[in-house]
Structure 1
């Protein structure tokens, strides 16, 4: 089984002093329960949904050869919601269209989407919350399982404090452990029933 995890710095695990991030943690858990998966972390810092749309197919096709149990996990959105020169980096309707295009094209693989996590600022969280709901709607329309991170983490004071005391955007190992636990405990995670 080969899984490409495609996304941004949260997929990459930026800020985690153990260098595992949530991807490393969910893969280690699956491996410990008898699933020796090959994982490819394709998270890039500052990538928006537009950046991911441009690169995902080429990067995944190089790593997912015919004859294997090939899967794709998509996660993005926080960078779309950031202001740059007074404007959102990606307009919400374009973010939604980008995610739709990725999910539709990637549907030849078993596919899963993980929603964006919150940030410390309330104004940005309004954007992230709206994107998370829009992405969940797109995933549902295409029959793609979706795991939401925003709601459980925005209410987690310890998570928000860890982000604020780190670089203001990313958690450290404790926060990534929380993200991994949300994913691993979701009925939409492929290995949930087996863990």
Structure 2
């Protein structure tokens, strides 16, 4: 049995927006760890609409308030989709700044606690971007998300931070695709979060947090 306090920092996919169970994937992976006998405390720091720049500005305060250094702890970051959003024709965060943010957070975080990164998830390419920001015209291209996701995962790994690119598996997962079609095209429903949680729960770096060598 492993005792571990976890803080998940990221965007609406980390938050679990669209999930009728309100668990999201962090709640699911932690519930599975708990069912396996581990003593897990989890804090969800996912904020809808947050870019890597906004996350960089707040993540340290988030974990300092929730993860006392006296206790075993770990951090899981997940972001990227909002960086690729174009608002009124302008991209919210340039790819170069996204990578700079990732490198800065990863370098600092891994010195504090075991740190993982989950890359951005694919969206439904057949759907127009939902207009989720009042007063702004929103555009989003899945090819931008795919390119940034690859670069973020590569940059994290280069710094020694285990990083998962969920895109290949989710693109091949009918449950994920169906869940996007039934939702807004960006955020899955419960079935989609189930698929993402299964992928992360089976990922060796996640399992290693709980002492598994598989």
Contact 2:80-2:145 at 8 Å conserved across structures: yes
1:91-136: CA deviation from partner (whole Å, max 9, x where unpaired): 1111111111111111121100111100112772211111111111
Contact (CA 8 Å) 2:204, 2:213: kept in 1 or not?
A: no
For the aligned residue pairs, the C-alpha RMSD in angstroms reads: 1.7
Task: Identify the residue that residue 48 of structure 1 maps to in structure 2.
Answer: 51
**TM-score, length basis structure 2:** 0.86
Q: Which runs of 5+ in 2 are unaligned?
A: 127-139
User: Given the superposition, is the C-alpha separation of residues 18 and 192 from structure 1 closer, same or farther in structure 2, using an over 3 Å criterion?
Assistant: farther
1:193 aligns with 2:212: yes
> Does the 8 A contact of 2:5 with 2:41 survive in 1?
yes
Please state if 1:154 is matched with 2:171: yes
- Residue by residue, what CA displacement relative to the aligned partner does 1:11-51 show, whole Å, maximum 9, x if unpaired? 00000001111000000000111111110000000000011
Corresponding residue SS for 1:40: strand
Note the alpha carbon deviations across 1:116-172, whole angstroms, 9 max, x for none. Answer: 100112772211111111111111111111111111112334422321321221111
Distance 2:118 2:199 in 1: 10
Say how many residue pairs are matched: 195
1:179 to 193, 196, 207: 196
Is the alpha carbon distance of 1:15 and 1:132 closer, same or farther for their aligned partners in structure 2, counting shifts above 3 Å?
same
Q: TM-score, normalised by structure 1?
A: 0.94
What's the CA shift for 1:193?
3.0
Q: 1:176 to 1:192 in 2, by over 3 A?
A: farther
Instruction: Name the structure 1 match of 2:132.
Output: none
SS in 2 for 1:188: helix
Equivalent in the alignment of 1:7: 10
2: CA distance, partners of 1:34 / 1:186? 18
CA shift in 2, pair 1:154/1:192, >3 Å: farther
Structure 1 gaps, min length 5: none
